[in-house]
A and B are shown apart, each in its own frame.
Chain A
């Protein structure tokens, strides 16, 4: 069962994503900030990260770079209420960019696609 790390500062959204993704059969771990995500990934290696951008403290853009610098094969989906970051070069290192919506179909589809893509690729030695 793949483990998904949700990085999200809003508690209601944390609960919602946790529940919905568990229903999809994923193992779900939650971090409330970019900093917490970095600490957490020292201990566990998720199969994929769903990363909010606008968060207090270290934002998702900075967390994205730092997560990749530790593990450049880690699949990361940016998940934000704003479409405007999509043009920002700093977000182009994410595997996907999903604008938040009450319907989680797109997020779920992207998770599936990115996981499938990464399982095809040979891992770094």
Chain B
């Protein structure tokens, strides 16, 4: 990266390591054939695009993506979609599958993923390592966190966001002193303490860790040699806070909305909701800010189009309202409302698609009724099929969520 600004005038070498090996079991069947970071989001994006865009927008250009399960889709996406940096200038986004260099195991946890890649740290010898998750959707300028880290002479800085206290059971919660130093840390503990003065909020870790490299190596080595789940939140951070300078950095949201946006779209319902939020007049998450571009694989496709405007009663009309339509879509006499359509989606005549996410290349046949559904890539829904109208019946054929969202897996065949 270009030399960051810093408190003592010395440039620091910083590399990012994005943990992209999660199975995303709760997003099944979207994760049947791909890792969670490769799950499509918002029509043209993959979940990891938000973290990668944060890096690029923060001028971080030495990025390792640690992959593991079902990584071929993610690998393809990064090689073809993110081939934008200059190796001649020492910039790269490189995927690393488990090397089994020091062990015969796959990654046992987040800390073990770094332990198993100490070789890469040795080759690169950065001063600082920014550890990120490829699973989250948010906008963050990591340079502000770096400034904070250097100013506090921290050994580890964790980006934190206030969240409703009932979420403490799913997250790591930091307790800080007046100087933002973390004095206590509770991982997935429903009775984690609230923030001072805000009894309904607690300060949650976003899984964004900025480490001094030598501290990181010592800690992951110590963790590897102890009885542990090899997890940063559960094992490494709670052990570090008493002996090391560990600080919480208050997340500055580049999304510029009244409420800070950070999502772990960990469940199908959360995924559906976060996607459909994008079609709102004033969505919580703004994709349209030229000051914070979100990049993805450029799709080679013609513009989206709507066709047919028959004026007689019962005629065909191609209509899309309150929806995101990606390039290559054709709404051909069908009706689309409050939905997200990926590239090359076709909605045939008299079909209705409402409150749904339709992924790339899927065809919705004539007369179909699709409501509150997620239809993965490459599905050809035959004419006159109803999905989401009778969720009890749908449960016999599909995954249906707690909130009655029906999920059709990739390339599902109808016979």
Task: Determine whether the beta carbon of B101 is less than 8 Å from that of A68.
Answer: no
Task: Determine whether the beta carbon of A89 is less than 8 Å from that of B101.
Answer: no
Task: Determine whether the beta carbon of B122 is less than 8 Å from that of A88.
Answer: yes
Task: Decide if B217 is an interface residue (CB 8 Å cutoff).
Answer: yes
Most buried by B among A62, A68, A89, A125: A89
Task: Decide if B103 is an interface residue (CB 8 Å cutoff).
Answer: yes
With A and B bound together, what is the CA distance between A69 and B105 in angstroms? Answer: 8
Task: Decide if B119 is an interface residue (CB 8 Å cutoff).
Answer: yes
Task: Determine whether the beta carbon of B227 is less than 8 Å from that of A125.
Answer: yes
**Nearest neighbor of A93 in chain B, beta-carbon distance:** B221
Task: Decide if A72 is an interface residue (CB 8 Å cutoff).
Answer: yes
The range of chain B's interface size is: 10 to 19
Most buried by A among B119, B217, B218, B225: B225
Task: Determine whether the beta carbon of A89 is less than 8 Å from that of B118.
Answer: yes
Bits for B93-119, please: 1 = Cβ < 8 Å to A, else 0: 000000001111100000000000011
Bits for A100-111, please: 1 = Cβ < 8 Å to B, else 0: 000000000000
Task: Determine whether the beta carbon of B103 is less than 8 Å from that of A65.
Answer: yes
Task: Decide if B241 is an interface residue (CB 8 Å cutoff).
Answer: no
With A and B bound together, what is the CA distance between A110 and B101 in angstroms? Answer: 27
Chain A positions within 8 Å of B221 at CB level: 92-93
Task: Decide if B226 is an interface residue (CB 8 Å cutoff).
Answer: yes
Are A89 and B121 CB-contacts (below 8 A) given A68-B225, A124-B227? yes
Chain A positions within 8 Å of B226 at CB level: 72
**Nearest neighbor of B226 in chain A, beta-carbon distance:** A72
B392 to A: closest C-beta gap in Å: 47
Task: Decide if B224 is an interface residue (CB 8 Å cutoff).
Answer: yes
Chain A positions within 8 Å of B225 at CB level: 68, 72-73, 93
Which of A66, A68, A72, A92 has a CB less than 8 Å from the CB of B217? A92
List B residues 203-238 near A (Cβ within 8 Å): 217-218, 221, 224-227
Chain B positions within 8 Å of A16 at CB level: none
Chain B positions within 8 Å of A90 at CB level: 102, 118-119, 122
Chain A positions within 8 Å of B224 at CB level: 68, 72, 93
Are A69 and B103 CB-contacts (below 8 A) given A92-B218, A93-B225, A124-B227? yes
Task: Determine whether the beta carbon of B101 is less than 8 Å from that of A62.
Answer: yes
Bits for A47-77, please: 1 = Cβ < 8 Å to B, else 0: 0000000000000001011101100110000
Chain A positions within 8 Å of B218 at CB level: 92
A106 to B: closest C-beta gap in Å: 22
**Nearest neighbor of A64 in chain B, beta-carbon distance:** B102
Chain B positions within 8 Å of A64 at CB level: 102
B183 to A: closest C-beta gap in Å: 27
3 nearest CB pairs, A to B:
A65-B102, A69-B103, A89-B122
A residues sitting closer than 8 Å to B (CB atoms) are 62, 64-66, 68-69, 72-73, 88-90, 92-93, 124-125
- List 9 A-B pairs, Cβ < 8 Å: A65-B103, A66-B102, A69-B104, A89-B119, A89-B121, A90-B119, A92-B217, A92-B218, A124-B227
